[in-house]
A and B are shown apart, each in its own frame.
Chain A
Amino acid sequence: MKRRDFLKRAIKVFFSILAIAILSALVYIYPSKIKNRKLHYIYLMDEDELPRKGVRRVEFVYKLEDKIITNRVFVAANNDKLTAFSPVCTHLGCLVNWDNNKKEFLCPCHGGKYNMNGDVIAGPPPKPLTRLPLEIKDGKVYVGIKV
């Protein structure tokens, strides 16, 4: 092989290695532990504290990987039907607030609005508020969240 051809080939090999290195770097950047969130039922409140009518914001505390996390849900009672809503706005993930005068959920980030059933009435959210499963056992209310 001529020296010139050898060098040309060496350059090709060099760039192939470089390409492999860049691809490996992209794999390296991607987090290795994307765990599957599992549904956990967490104690929310006693049954007699449930709202009869209207929406109540309920805060609850749980432990995850040695970290104490405070989270919240909205429990809505409408015509004897009980629903728990996740406060996470379906637009870009801010936490919504309940406006009791206007009877709507309002997102502070981009003005998304949901009615008492969690349906979008204004703003950019693409989906209604996520409904969370509620479980009542021995007079205690548990909410199912994925952690």
Chain B
Amino acid sequence: MGKIFDWIDSRFGVKEPHKRFLQRPVPENINYSYCLGGMAFTYFLMLAFTGILLSIYYVPSEKEAFKSVVMITNEVTLGWLVRSLHKWSANLFIIFIILHTIRVFVYKAYRPPRDLNWMAGVFGFVTAMASGFTGYLLPWDQKAYWATEVGTSMFGTVPLIGDYLMYAVRGGLDINGTTLIRFYSLHILYLPVSMAVVLWAHFHMVKKQGIAKSL
């Protein structure tokens, strides 16, 4: 590789430990459906990139959230593009996770020793869904409000601890500015960090166990 990279690598040392992974043989007869997970990951990177751009203009407050979303869409240069990319990447992210899951299921790649990686994948899927749910409230329009009303009410149907769960998620009795900040915090901090940890574990196991042989 280039001189600058070699200079850094002779001090940092990432090339050698990754050689085995990057130059490993892959089983025969694999096809493009093995790319679905990688495509989902690409959408995750896309979401992270557009997300940090959106966070520059978005205001997570009861009075200004909706206004700031309108401003991002109508006034900010390329704001409409960044917001649309975030929205569509979010949809495609979920779709590609599901397709990837179906691929793994069909190829029976969930069997030991890959069972733990299947579980990591489930955690990732739940985290992605939670990100979708919390992100849906952030535009703070009627659709967002009522979707969250319905979604958080479902927490209330859990036996015994339902009400406590619902109030904890809402940050009070009703959906208001407290809920918005809670969801914002979850959406941009807790969930992406959890996702990063889950994905690290997911890829680590792929690296250690290799790709399952095709049927």
Contact = CB atoms under 8 A, between A and B. Distances in A.
A134 B170 CA distance: 30
Nearest to B169: A29
A30 B150 contact: no
Interface in A6-32: 29-31
B167 interface: yes
Interface stretch (B41-49, B101-109, B171-179): B171-179
Given A30-B164, A31-B178, A34-B167, A93 B153 contact: yes
A29 B165 CA distance: 11
A94 B150 contact: yes
B154 interface: yes
A35 B171 CA distance: 12
Contacts of A38: none
Contact of B173 (A29, A30, A35): A35
A92 interface: yes
The listed residue with most A CB atoms (<10 A of its CB), out of B167, B168, B172, B173, is B173
B149 to A, nearest CB: 5
A35 to B, nearest CB: 7
Nearest to A36: B173
- Chain B's interface size range is 10 to 19
A93 B167 contact: no
B146 A34 contact: no
A37 interface: yes
Contacts of A37: 173
Interface of A: 29-31, 33-35, 37, 91-94, 109
Given A30-B168, A31-B178, 17 more contacts: A30-B164, A30-B167, A31-B167, A31-B168, A31-B170, A31-B172, A34-B172, A35-B173, A91-B153, A92-B149, A92-B150, A92-B153, A92-B154, A93-B153, A94-B146, A94-B150, A109-B150
29 contacts: A29-B168, A30-B164, A30-B167, A30-B168, A31-B167, A31-B168, A31-B170, A31-B171, A31-B172, A31-B178, A33-B172, A34-B167, A34-B172, A34-B173, A35-B173, A37-B173, A91-B153, A92-B149, A92-B150, A92-B153, A92-B154, A93-B149, A93-B150, A93-B153, A94-B146, A94-B149, A94-B150, A109-B146, A109-B150
